Amino acid sequence: MGTERFDRAAADWDSKSRRVRLAGKISSAIAELPLSTEMSAMEYGCGTGLVGMAVAPLVGQLIAIDSSSGMLEVLEQKIAAEKIANMETLCCDLLADKYNRQHNLIFCSMTLHHIRDSGALLQRFAELLLPGGYLAIADLFTEDGSFHKADAEGIHHHGFDPEELKSSLEACGMEAISHRTVHSIVKEENSREYPVFLLTARKRS
């Protein structure tokens, strides 16, 4: 996944209230999972940590992973400023780099549509979950391509059908799969609403 666009945008990423509202809705929905401070968690595509920093107090340890060093630099500054002791960052591409730590919780927010081989990433998530661990994925429902600008970089999917994701995850050994709408993003450019789902699943024990 190309990172240049995100490196450039990192410094001002949190300035858009739309992103902050979305992150709040997603993190609140993830918090409804049976989380505990005994759990190890990983966020993939963490960006500046808008979701992860809200989830971190609910788990024992959170590793925030992104392939954009610019995003991680902003997040590291926030972690230091707020003295968050149980959160660390890692610059990594799970489909290209070696990463073998397993977790009780893996989550990603508005990341999957940037991944060309989304099925391979779902498989990696399943491999990196401990038995009984939880997966939470937030992304757009299938849309007509108007959500992103026509020249936007790194857009490989115009949202997803959660039922198709469910089938892929079942094949990866996941169960108790469900989804619900957690927010709708309103685009001022076209006055349209784009619903966002949170899909949760559990790895078979």
Residue 57: band (very low, low, confident or very high) from pLDDT cuts 50, 70, 90: very high
pLDDT at residue 4 tops 90: no
Distance from C-alpha of 192 to C-alpha of 188, rounded to nearest angstrom: 7
- Beta-carbon count within 10 A of 116 CB: 11
Please state the rounded mean pLDDT for residues 120-142: 98
Distance from C-alpha of 69 to C-alpha of 199, rounded to nearest angstrom: 27
Provide CATH code, domain 4-203: 3.40.50.150
Query: Residue 57 corresponds to which tokens in the numbers above?
Result: 């107090």
Query: Residue 125 corresponds to which tokens in the numbers above?
Result: 């998530």
> What percent of the chain is modeled with pLDDT above 70?
92
Whole-structure pTM value: 0.93
Q: E strands along the chain, which residues?
A: 40-44, 61-66, 87-91, 103-109, 129-140, 174-187, 192-203
Residue 42: band (very low, low, confident or very high) from pLDDT cuts 50, 70, 90: very high
pLDDT at residue 7 tops 90: no
First-to-last alpha carbon distance for the chain, in angstroms, is 32
pLDDT at residue 13 tops 70: no
For residue 156, the Cα-to-chain-centroid distance in whole angstroms is: 16
For residue 132, the Cα-to-chain-centroid distance in whole angstroms is: 19
